[in-house]
Structure 1
Amino acid sequence: MVSGKVSKLNLWELVVAIILGLVEGLTEFAPVSSTGHMIIVDDILLKSKELFSPEVANTFKVCIQLGSILAVVIVMKDRFIDLLGLSRETDEEGNRLKLTQVIVGLLPAGVLGFLFEDYIDEYLFSVNTVIIALVAGAILLLVADWFRPARPKVETVDQITYKQAIGIGLFQCLSLWPGFSRSGSTISGGVLLGLSHRAASDFTFIMAVPIMLGASTISLIKNWDSFTLDALPFFIAGFVSAFIFALLSIRFFLKLINKIKLVPFAIYRIVLAVILYLIVS
C-alpha cells in the first residue's frame, strides 16, 4: 500500500492501528514524551509508513489524538462544564478556575507555535533532536522535584492565579521541541511555581484539550485528501484504542502523581533516550 489511498485492510494493519492507539493513549498525558514512544514503536518497529503512504500514516496519528482528547473531556467533564459557564458551583473558599486563566496559559505556546511551525517541522523533528529533548525534559522534571517549594501554595487547580497560569504557559513553550513533552514541561513549571503535583496535572490536562483539538483539526484539514472510506476501519481501531487507554492512564496518573512525584518519570525518560540512541546508532 504505497499510494495515498488505503485498500482493503488485513488483520495486521488493524493490529498496528490498535498498538499505535495504545501507545498514544498511554503516553500522551504522562510526562514521558509520546513523540519519543511513537518513533520507537512506529517509525522503527511497526513502520506504518511502509504499510500505508506517509500521508495516511501521518493523518492517522492525528486522528488517534482525538481519541485521547475525548478521554480527557470525559474524565474532567465537570470541570469543562464549569469553564463553559454551565455550572455555578464553587469550592469551599468561593474560588473556581476561570476560562480566561486557561486562555492565558495557552497564549505563549500558541503564538510561538504559529510563528515557528515551519522551523520546528524542518529542524526539530529528527531522532537526534528528540533524544536530546528527552534528556533535557528529564532534567527539568528532576529540577522541579528537587527545587519545588517545601509546601505547595496551590493545592487545587481552583486556587491558581493569573500569574501562575502565564508562567505555566511559558514553560509549555518548551514542548514545541518534539520529545520534550507538553505534560512534562507544564507539570514541572506548575510545581516550580508553587502548585501541587495534582493541581499542575489538572491544569495541564485542561489546557491539553484546546491545544490538541486545534492542532488535530488543522492537520486533518491539511491532510483530508488522505482520508478515505477504505481507511475507516484503520482509523476507527486506532481512535478507540487511544480513547480506552488514555481513559485508563489519565485516571491512574491523577491518582498516582501526588504520591510518586516526577523523579520516576525522569529516570524513565533517560532510559528511553538511551534505548532510542542505541536503536538508531
Structure 2
Amino acid sequence: MSEFWSAIILGIVEGLTEFLPVSSTGHMILTGHLLGFTGEKAKTFEIVVQLGAVLAVLVLYWRRFIGFLNFKESLNFRSRGKVNLFHMALAMVPAVVVGLAIHSWVKEHLFGPATVLISLVVGGILIIIADKSRIRITAENMDDISYKQAFGIGLFQCLALWPGFSRSGSTISGGMLLGASQKAAAEFTFLVSVPVMFGATGLDLYKSRDLLSMDDLGIFIAGLVVSFVVAMVAVVTFLNVIKRLSLSWFAYYRFVLAAVFYVILFL
C-alpha cells in the first residue's frame, strides 16, 4: 500500500483513538506494522499526526483557551472555582521533565509491537482499578479540580510516555483515583493534551529533521488533516458516551486487542 493511503488510514485511527483510553500511539504502531509503514519516518509520523487530533480540542475548547490569555486571572494562585494556567502547568511539568529526559530511549526501545501489547494490558489493569475504586469524588466538574489533583494527574501522565499505555487512559484513571469524576478527569485531560502534544511534536520534528524531506510533507499533512476531522467527531461522541459507559469496557477492549494482535504478529 502506498504511503499516502497508509497516512490516511493512520489519520483515521489516530482521530478515533487519541482521546479514548485505548492508546492512539499503540493503535498506530500496530496498524503501521500491518500496513508495512515502519521505520524512523513512521515513528515521527505517529507523533506528528497526533497534532491533528490536538488541534480538534483547541477548536472545540477555544473559549477556554482564550480565557487562559487573561494572565492576571489565570495565574491567580488563590483562584478557586475555575481551571487556570497554574492547573495546566502543574499537570504538564512532570511529563515534560520526564519526557525530555528519556525521549530518545523511549523512541529507541518502546516503539514496537511487543512493548505496545504489554502496555495495553498493564494500562487496562490500571483503568479497571480506577473504575472499580470507591474513591470519594471531590471534583464533580472539571473546574472543581484542585492544584494537588492537577499535579497528581500530571504524574500519572508520565505513564503515557510508554507507547500503548494511553495518555487519556493514564490521566483519566489517575484523576479518578485522586477524587475527580470520570467526566471531569476526561475534560481536564483534553485541555492538558494540547500544550503537551504541541511540545512533543515540536521536539520530535526537531530531533528528526535530518530524516525528513519535502517529499514527506504530503503524507504528514494528509494524516494530520484526517485526524483533525475525525477527532472533532470523536471527542464530542466520547464525552456523551462516558456519561453512560463504564470505563472498564475500554480496558476489556484493550485486552482483546492485545490478544488479537499477539496472534496476528507473533503466532
Q: TM-score, normalised by structure 2?
A: 0.90
5+ long unaligned stretches in structure 1: 1-10
* Structure-2 change in CA distance of 1:108 and 1:13 (3 Å): closer
- Matched letter for residue 92 of structure 2: L
Displacement of 1:94: 6.8
What SS class does the counterpart of residue 259 from structure 1 fall into?
coil
2:81 to 91, 95, 98: 95
Question: Aligned residue for 1:115?
Answer: 101
| 1:47-196 mapped onto 2 (5 Å cutoff) | 47-49=36-38, 54-85=39-70, 95-149=81-135, 152-196=137-181
* Structure-2 change in CA distance of 1:256 and 1:154 (3 Å): same
Question: Aligned residue for 2:8?
Answer: 18
- Matched letter for residue 231 of structure 2: A
Write the distance in 1 (CA, Å) between the matches of 2:146 and 2:49: 33
1:88-138 per-residue CA deviation (whole Å, 9 max, x = no partner) reads 79xxx9721110111011111221222222332333333222211111111
Moved more, 97-106 or 172-181: 172-181
Write the distance in 1 (CA, Å) between the matches of 2:107 and 2:218: 29
Write the distance in 1 (CA, Å) between the matches of 2:225 and 2:112: 28
* Structure-2 change in CA distance of 1:124 and 1:62 (3 Å): closer
Write the distance in 2 (CA, Å) between the matches of 1:88 and 1:163: 19
Write the distance in 1 (CA, Å) between the matches of 2:80 and 2:206: 42
2:205 to 195, 200, 220: 220
Question: Aligned residue for 2:17?
Answer: 27
2:26 to 36, 39, 50: 36
User: Runs of 4+ in structure 1 displaced over 6 angstroms?
Assistant: 86-89
Question: Aligned residue for 1:46?
Answer: 35
Write the distance in 2 (CA, Å) between the matches of 1:64 and 1:149: 36
What SS class does the counterpart of residue 112 from structure 1 fall into?
helix
RMSD: 2.2
1:164-200 per-residue CA deviation (whole Å, 9 max, x = no partner) reads 1111111112112221111101000111111111110
Moved more, 227-236 or 110-119: 227-236
* Structure-2 change in CA distance of 1:87 and 1:238 (3 Å): farther
Moved more, 58-67 or 247-256: 58-67
Displacement of 1:155: 1.5
* Structure-2 change in CA distance of 1:118 and 1:222 (3 Å): closer
* Structure-2 change in CA distance of 1:199 and 1:277 (3 Å): same
- Matched letter for residue 6 of structure 2: V
Displacement of 1:86: 7.7
What SS class does the counterpart of residue 154 from structure 1 fall into?
coil
- Matched letter for residue 232 of structure 2: L
Identity percentage of aligned residues: 48
Displacement of 1:267: 0.5
- Matched letter for residue 100 of structure 1: F
Write the distance in 2 (CA, Å) between the matches of 1:192 and 1:59: 33
- Number of residue-to-residue matches in the alignment: 262
5+ long unaligned stretches in structure 2: none
- Matched letter for residue 268 of structure 1: Y
